[in-house]
Structure 1
Amino acid sequence: MYQLSHISKIFDGRIVALDALNLKVRRGEKVALIGPSGAGKTTLFRMLNLTIPPTSGTLVFDGQDVSHLHGRRLREVRRRIGTVYQQHNLVPRLPVVHNVLSGKLGSWSIWQAMCSLIRPTELNLACEALAQVGISDKLYERTESLSGGQQQRVAIARMLAQNPEVILADEPVSSVDPALAAGIVKLLLDLSTTYLKTLLMNLHSVDLALAHFPRVIGLKDGKVSFDLPAAEVTDEHLTALYSGGRTETIEEEALNRAEHRSAWSCQPHLTS
């Protein structure tokens, strides 16, 4: 599904977020990424969902080189990729149904979007998506009235309404109670298995990654430290991964500045 060859990302001509990274992800795989703060995980995910382009190297998605796509062709590929973020990115004052159906904005016309805002269309789709994440009774509730865990489920339902081929989950459980984290991770794994989606998840929790994913990739200083079946990840691997490392603040600041200037980030696109 993805093939990255010698991918590098440099911000402001000096901050190396990714360094000649090589990576392959097969269709339908379930992969967890772990690593210290500033390892380049968020940069990698924003590159995988085509928010930012690589500085150098080749990014292939489903057999197509997407490193330099623009306009309509870029939007078409983005529709096939759904992202669930740490921050839910919902509209708090809108009912849940509208937030779920915003997953269709990438394929709707402006007229369809406006009409649905007045009177929700494809209501069955929203109901089904909410049923799949276990909160079908929240359809018309105001989104801001829900708990953090329920709002994350709304964000997942929005991604299901989009119906992407790939799910990128970037720290999807960092803003929920630890007791709920395993449930959300398992929910995304179950959904990706049931609907034959490729799933990549960025996790701070090593325990969650090792307990639930067959393949775990350790990222450090913009490079792959290890890429192994979970059962083969040792304490030595983890010690080497988390010793030293860069500060996350530098990477985040560079990302925030780059997103305002990036040719890709200027293109309208949908992420969940």
Structure 2
Amino acid sequence: MKAADMFSLAGRVALVTGASSGLGQQFARALADNGASVALVARRAERLEAFRAELEAAGARAVAIEADVTDPAAMKAAFDAAEKAFGTVTILVNNAGVAQKPLRAVEVSVEEWRRVLSVDLDAVFYWAQEGARRMIAAGQQGSIVNIASVLGFGVSKGTAAYAVAKAAVVQATQALAIELAFKGVRVNAIAPGWFVTEINDTYLNSEAGHAMKRDIPMGRFGEKGDLDGALLLLASDAGRYITGATIVVDGGQVVQLKG
């Protein structure tokens, strides 16, 4: 089979959470560029609509769906809207996430702990549950891709809640994978290293950020498109025998942390 055929997503329906900016937009663009119809989910409706228009202008099929990933009713409504527009979602990218305030572990409040874990872990599991239920009910095979982090493998100071959530995403991915494989639903994760987005660009371009860059074996932060290959592998038939895996895309950062 030719690579273009293996990685083609023609006829597939994808849903990407956190699609109004950053990595979420890049994930959605990569899926759309390779043939998928894409449901864009996030809280910022105006930004979603602008991005939807951009994708459609480029020839893609997309729908913008406003939803808070921590709201169960909004989650179900989002899947309903995606199904109404395109049919059963067979590619789910659990990308929505929040960063932790830079607090030492003893300073993290109950409210901050719950804020981070409710988005970065709970929502990932619940959306994977809902997506899998709908794929199974429709008799469709599919792929769920959860976005973890290198901090799920090596903790740095001031990231306790975030690191715990992302480590749990890796375990949740494996737990879901072994229970859903027999139904044809694959569940995998991508663990990015440091990528420059609008959320962190000021910090990563600061003196402290430059110091962090020197600790990455490849000597740079992740760039636009560096995650596309891993995503397309896991979403397409090219990865049809891959489930329960976490692909680390970090320029060697985890190796450095373990070293």
TM-score by length of 2: 0.31
User: If each structure's strand is expressed as a fraction of its own residues, which one has the higher value?
Assistant: 1
